[in-house]
Structure 1
Amino acid sequence: MKSIILAAAIVLSATTSFAEGMTHRVAIHVDENDPQVMNMALNNVANLTSYYEAQGDDVIVELVAYGPGLNMFVAETSPVAERIAAMSLAMPNLKFSGCGNTLSAMEARTDHTVELVSEAEIVPSGVVQLITLQEAGYAYVRP
């Protein structure tokens, strides 16, 4: 009987230690030129990072913007540029990805180079990036 209890305690102890320190991966999708949606996406990043860190877990977040949502990263006009800069400094777990296809279309339409905020990295295709992240096990969030 004692050996069964001891074995159960060891199994529970091992299970508990594996549950602690988990790494969560989250892809957040922004495809609307709406400051409210952009801010909600950034709130999601802050809230889930705070929650998981309080649990002792790690979280990796990639916010992907394409289509009208790429305006979130346009340096001259982004309504959330200051927040992006501050969050990027405070959260090394956070990556911003902007769609190269959308950027090319914007530049062709305006006939000039569109500068993105320095925190944004250009990926070839925003939608493909979201698919790739989901195939790699990232949870998908669309505010």
Structure 2
Amino acid sequence: MKYLITAAAVSLTMAAGAQAEGLTHHVAIHVNQNDPQVMNMALNNAQNMANYYASQGDEVVIEMVAYGPGLHMLIPGKSPVEDRISTMSLELDNLTFSACGNTHRKMSEKAGSEITLLDEAVMTPSGVVRLVELQEQGYAYVRP
């Protein structure tokens, strides 16, 4: 019986130590609208989460996935949030922007030339598939 109490005490101590070190949260943010309000809300969500979790001693890893009309968020000269993306990427180490390869290919074909993306954007083969993959990896899903 003494051994069981000791094992339980060790488990509780280890759990408390893990909490003291802080947790890492994982969040996928979905942007599929060419709407400045939606894009700004998505960025606000990311900033607010980063601020909140930092105040709790936790970390947050955020991946913003843009596809369909939302890909305009990641196109230089067309993005209404280009400056915010640049600034936030410098301030938040764990923030990434994924661009849908399917949407990019279709937009480039329609334009007759390759559409340039912001330096902060990382191409993913499919935005929808990327969102599914992130959720399967335990990411929380947010759609502003």
1:56-135 correspondence runs (5 A): 56-135=57-136
SS for the counterpart of 1:78 is: coil
Distance in structure 2 (CA, Å) of the matches to 1:8 and 1:135? 32
Distance in structure 2 (CA, Å) of the matches to 1:22 and 1:134? 18
Distance in structure 1 (CA, Å) of the matches to 2:65 and 2:43? 11
* Residues paired across the two proteins, number: 141
Distance in structure 2 (CA, Å) of the matches to 1:57 and 1:13? 19
Structure 1 alignment gaps of length 5 or more: none
Structure-2 residue corresponding to 1:30: 31
Q: Is the 8 A contact 1:76 1:115 kept in 2?
A: no
Q: What is the CA distance between 1:57 and its match in structure 2?
A: 0.6
Q: Is the 8 A contact 1:39 1:80 kept in 2?
A: yes
**Percent identical across equivalent pairs?**
55
Distance in structure 2 (CA, Å) of the matches to 1:116 and 1:7? 54
Structure-1 residue corresponding to 2:19: 19
TM-score by length of 1: 0.91
Distance in structure 2 (CA, Å) of the matches to 1:125 and 1:10? 45
Q: Is the 8 A contact 1:30 1:64 kept in 2?
A: yes
Structure 2 alignment gaps of length 5 or more: none
**Gap change, CA 1:6 and 1:98, over 3 Å in 2:** same
Q: What is the Cα-based RMSD across aligned positions, in Å?
A: 1.9
